[in-house]
Amino acid sequence: MSKRLRSSDVCADCSGPDPSWASVNRGTFICDECCSVHRSLGRHISQVRHLKHTPWPPTLLQMVETLYNNGANSIWEHSLLDPASIMSGRRKANPQDKVHPNKAEFIRAKYQMLAFVHRLPCRDDDSVTAKDLSKQLHSSVRTGNLETCLRLLSLGAQANFFHPEKGSTPLHVASKAGQILQAELLAVYGADPGTQDSSGKTPVDYARQGGHHELAERLVEIQYELTDRLAFYLCGRKPDHKNGQHFIIPQMADRRLSLDVSELAKAAKKKLQSLSNHLFEELAMDVYDEVDRRETDAVWLATQNHSTLVTETTVVPFLPVNPEYSSTRNQGRQKLARFNAHEFATLVIDILSDAKRRQQGSPLSRSKDNVELILRTVSNQHSTESQDNDQPDYDSVASDEDTDVETRASKASRQKSLDSDLSDGPVTVQDFMEVRSALVASEAKIQQLMKVNNNLSDELRIMQKKASRLEKQNSTPESDYDNTPYDTEPDDTVPNRKGRQRSVVWPGDGSLPDTAEPHLVPSPTLPSTEDVIRKTEQITKNIQELLRAAQENTHDSYIPCSERIHVAVTEMAALFPKKPKSDTVRTSLRLLTSSAYRLQSECRKALPGDASLPTDVQLVTQQVIQCAYDIAKAAKQLVTITTKENNN
């Protein structure tokens, strides 16, 4: 962006100086405070980008600049320019106004309610009016007058309107005329570069015929914008469309997935492949919106002055509701925010892979293995519906050991259940989201996890006091507990460290425990509540050290912190029998130990200088936090279980 523009710009909504964001579809520049309101409205109302910290296609930025400089804001504030509006008390926001409610109410009225847009005279047939506007748009895009076209679009003209007499869309006309900025504007409002006219030609064809090579290349990029954005989100690269490469399918950096997650992921992918093209496109667009939300969140947090701007009031925790979508679709869109970084990356890769398959016309895989995976996933989901909703289901897929000992009758019954599941009707997005949601534990931000740990510490102290009264014969005085320092850690030599890692595999022979027991059987060999509380508090204190390191971006502290957590987890796991009879204890121990192992693996990725490891420290930190959250959750479950059993 030119220095001239940046020195003279003011916020379109409150006239504050030096706006750093743009509303792409509104053609305006806005300040941080007003942008926080725009983001809460959703992308269907305002598509925001940071002017410096978001990558821009050059012609898209040029389009927004042109609209802003040519008075596009007057389209959205038309009636406020009338002197009579001052007399009526209506006015726009100013920089001194509070964000809530003053600026927020004005921005919602301006963009969501379109309260100040020029209204056309009322007519009996609204469809005729929309058709007339679209015909005007069709003829206007051959010129460079962007604000006229934006005004028509704001009044209801359709970017994909197919002119019955001309046999083409506005994008065909703009491409034939070489109007690249008009093409950008039309694409922002949903124009499809792949649409054919009555002669079977696309806008790309007309741009190439007219020698408008930059426009032709840009139209191809727009055609693949969704999949390009998803690929760039994961690996920071885009396909080389000029040389015929239209898809990049990134690979997961960490393939050490547990059996449960990998099989659930395969089952979810199978559901994804079964979606109709229409539902798949809806899901892909929703994931695109979620990528935009996450990337904008990252830019937002990185650019705010936290001492002067209260970010808690401007957080967009999930995709805002789009009233044009069904309630089911809106609920599915909001579920996407619950996916942690690893789970969301898996979903994005699945969508990229299936988008490529669908475009190339590759048939679906019909392997029996995939069919049985769906069956096992659905079957286990049904069997766990009666479990406490507060405790996530971490063992919803049977282990290989369980599968080997299944009877033929059981398999036949499962196959019949699956056949019914797949033949009842087409798979919906909701079906897919239900399977995929089994992967979601709940993504914890640093502040949220600190709160969880603080609450857990308080609960532990309360439980400890209760346990002391109930187990006087085995307990120690409260003063001993409160003043007990950390247990002395074992010698941190390489052999000892390897031994700890082996102890994480549950049980010791590396096989997964049998999860087929139908009832919880209280184990007489459970450790005392007092001992479990001691170890849990040690774990939570170590987790808090790790979170402080994450907050302070001291990534070199990750590994020492993870080692201390690993030692504490190993010592806590050693309190329990090797094969506890309680299914709930076994599930919690598996989560505890596997999360500690994953935490060590993730923390190693933060080490600088290793080219084989990912360089996205922010992604690594998210994974580290998620692992820490899972450890704290499992420890709390074990305290609750032992307290309950020992008190019975």
CATH 1.25.40.20 segments of the chain: 126-223
Residue 346 confidence (pLDDT): 87
CATH 1.20.120.330 segments of the chain: 446-647
| Beta carbons within 10 angstroms of residue 442's beta carbon | 13
CATH 1.10.220.150 segments of the chain: 3-112
Residue 464 confidence (pLDDT): 55
Instruction: Of 317, 625, 618, give the one whose Cα is nearest residue 449.
Output: 625
Residue 164 confidence (pLDDT): 94
DSSP codes joined into one string, 514-573: P---SS----TTPPPHHHHHHHHHHHHHHHHHHHHHHHTT-GGGHHHHHHHHHHHHHHHH
| Beta carbons within 10 angstroms of residue 200's beta carbon | 7
DSSP state of 49: E
Residue 85 confidence (pLDDT): 60
**Residue whose entry in the numeric block shows the structure tokens 């690993």:** 566
Per CATH, the number for 446-647 is 1.20.120.330
CA atoms within 13 Å, Cβ hemisphere of 6: 8
Q: Domain 126-223 - what CATH class? A: mainly alpha
d(CA 60, CA 149): 15
Residue 643 confidence (pLDDT): 82
DSSP codes joined into one string, 223-286: HTHHHHHHHHHHHS----GGGT--------S-----HHHHHHHHHHHHHHHHB-HHHHHHHHHH
Beta bridge partners of 22: 29, 49
| Third-level CATH fold of 3-112 | Annexin V; domain 1 (1.10.220)
Under-50 pLDDT residues of the chain: 1-7, 256-260, 309-312, 366-427, 431, 434-447, 471, 473-523, 610-614
Residue 632 confidence (pLDDT): 85
d(CA 478, CA 101): 51
Instruction: Of 579, 586, 481, 489, give the one whose Cα is nearest residue 530.
Output: 481
Q: Is the pTM higher than 0.85?
A: no
